[in-house]
A and B are shown apart, each in its own frame.
Chain A
Amino acid sequence: MISFSAVSKRYPGGLEALRGVSFTIEAGELVFVTGPSGAGKSTLLKLIPAIERPTAGSVVVNGQNVGALKRGAIPYLRRNLGLVFQDHKLLYDRSVFDNVMLPLSFGTLAPRDAARRTRAALDKVGLLERERANPIQLSGGEQQRLAIARAVVNRPAVLVADEPTANLDEDSAWRIVDILLSFHQVGVTLVVATHDQALVARHGRRVLQLAAGRLAGA
């Protein structure tokens, strides 16, 4: 499902975030990517939806070589992935409902079906009653749940979450983890970057440990 083969990523300016990283993630797996700050976790996750392109090596997602994808094909790749960003990337000029609905407006779903699916996603993360609220009115944990609802509204086969529990209190963090695991339990491939060792220790079935851009353990 996701395959990294000798992947390196060097940013303009010379910073080498990843060096010869290789691994494969099978469909339905739950994988934690861990490591200290600057180890390359976020870069690794950004390579999956082609937010970044590898400098060397190949990244294959759902059979597509992401590094070789043409610009016009990238949106279609991303629509089949659920992305949860470290900084949520919510839009504060529209409602909770509209934030979740956003990815569905790019596709072919009829507005009525899109609305139904949006409410289902909000229900899944426990925010249905807040659908008319502005995201700014939500707590940090609720905002993260909103970001998860938006990531799963397209019913992706792969969910990629970058530090989903960062800056959250323990209760909120566990709730986020439970929600993510609930999606994994119905077959969604889950890739989670985190430096929360307690989280990894409790749920970590497979851990990709990065150190200075290299895979230290898999």
Chain B
Amino acid sequence: MRTWLRQHREALARALGRLGAQRMATLLNALVIGVALSLPAGGYLLLSGLQGVAQRVSYEPQVSVFLKAGAAQADLEARMRRDPRVAGLRFVSRDEALAELRVTEELADVVAQLERNPLPDAFVVRSADAAPAALEALAEALRALPGVARVQVDSAWAQRLAALVRTGRLALGALAVLLATGLVAVTFNTIRLQILTQREEIEVSRLLGASDGFVRRPLLYLGFLQGLAGGALGLAILAGALAVLNVGVRELAQTYGSSFSLPFLPWDDALSVVGFSGFLGWLGSAMSVSRHLR
């Protein structure tokens, strides 16, 4: 066990030594990997931000219930309050609604032309469940109540945004698979070149009794370390890009009275990115070693 650990320690040291001896090549390889990783990771951040916005909005799901003329308001309110899916409701009388329109700058003139109030009485119902399906089910139940003329679910745009985020996730997944394949290919080629560079050393070592494991181990560590370095560099690129992007995002958010900005990856996700990058580096290296060290 001690020998096994020593051999791994020595292989790791040899791999680090080779990375250190070829600093520029190491940096450039890590940069290629870092850029490739930062694209899907950045996309993931943007989508997470969008999803956060969509979720925050849809946590306040509203259903507008417009009443028929002469509908029994108190009876309807009591019925709706009994429904456990209703988290709260507010009655908006036709006069209140018209008054709100009157103070709306763009509509004030139109409203002034009206001879009578065309608006119905309405309830604004807050749903306990934000899920689109739950909202639709609630709307359906409200439509069936006597005295209800029309029900409007105010979550259509949130649904569209959620669909957009889902599509974005799929596209991002495809991009991530493509770039991960590219990363494996980059490492595969780097290790191939490394094998060519060390051809003599590998040949002599084998002639003198080096096992396959002894020859392969430093190359596998090399791929793994290169992947880790690329992952770390990718996170650094992402952090830099995010800092620049957030200047604009904050300005935009302020115009909506929000202090929203895109957050960096949680530490466990960041670790996963680096670890996954290391794994891809190892994978490319293992494939290259199997192919070129027969």
Contact = CB atoms under 8 A, between A and B. Distances in A.
Interface in A58-90: 71-72, 75-79, 83, 85, 89-90
B136 interface: no
B204 A106 contact: no
A83 B207 contact: yes
B214 to A, nearest CB: 5
Contacts of A49: 207
B3 interface: yes
Contacts of B200: 91
Contacts of B10: 105
A78 B208 contact: yes
Which 6 pairs across A and B sit closest by C-beta, in order of nearness? A79-B209, A78-B209, A75-B211, A108-B3, A103-B208, A75-B209
B201 A51 contact: no
B205 interface: yes
Given A105-B10, A106-B214, A108-B3, A83 B208 contact: yes
9 contacts: A51-B207, A75-B209, A76-B209, A89-B203, A91-B204, A93-B201, A102-B204, A103-B208, A110-B6
A41 interface: no
A102 B6 CA distance: 15
A149 to B, nearest CB: 12
Contacts of A77: 209
A106 B211 CA distance: 7
Contact of B212 (A72, A90, A103, A111): A72
A93 B207 CA distance: 18
Contacts of A51: 207
B208 A150 contact: yes
Interface in A86-130: 89-91, 93, 102-103, 105-108, 110-111
Interface string A143-154: 000000010001
Given A51-B207, A91-B200, 20 more contacts: A49-B207, A72-B211, A72-B212, A75-B210, A75-B211, A76-B209, A78-B207, A79-B208, A83-B207, A83-B208, A85-B207, A89-B203, A91-B201, A102-B205, A102-B208, A103-B208, A106-B209, A106-B214, A107-B209, A111-B6
A154 B207 CA distance: 14
Contacts of B204: 89-91, 102
Contacts of A72: 211-212
Interface string B183-226: 00000000000000000110111111111101000000000000
Query: Looking at A71, A85, A107, A111, which has the most chain B CB atoms within 10 Å of its CB?
Result: A107
Interface residues of A, number: 25
Q: Which of B6, B205, B207, B209 is the most central at the interface, judged by chain A CB atoms within 10 Å of its CB?
A: B209
Nearest to A153: B208
Contact of B205 (A71, A76, A106, A110): A106
Nearest to B205: A102
B13 to A, nearest CB: 11
Contacts of B207: 49, 51, 78, 83, 85, 89
A157 to B, nearest CB: 14
A24 B200 CA distance: 33
Interface in A184-214: none
A79 B208 CA distance: 6
A89 B2 CA distance: 31
Contacts of B205: 102, 106
Tell which of A79, A83, A106 has the most Cβ of chain B within 10 Å. Answer: A106
B221 to A, nearest CB: 15
Q: Which of A77, A79, A105, A108: most chain B Cβ within 10 A?
A: A105
Interface in B201-253: 201, 203-212, 214
Contacts of B210: 75, 106
B18 to A, nearest CB: 11
A129 to B, nearest CB: 24
A215 B73 CA distance: 117
Contacts of B206: 75
A177 B207 CA distance: 23
Interface string B125-143: 0000000000000000000
Given A91-B201, A93-B201, A106 B3 contact: no
Contacts of A103: 208-209
Contacts of A150: 208
A49 B201 CA distance: 18
A106 B208 contact: yes
A23 B179 CA distance: 60
A83 B10 CA distance: 25
A105 to B, nearest CB: 7
B277 to A, nearest CB: 30
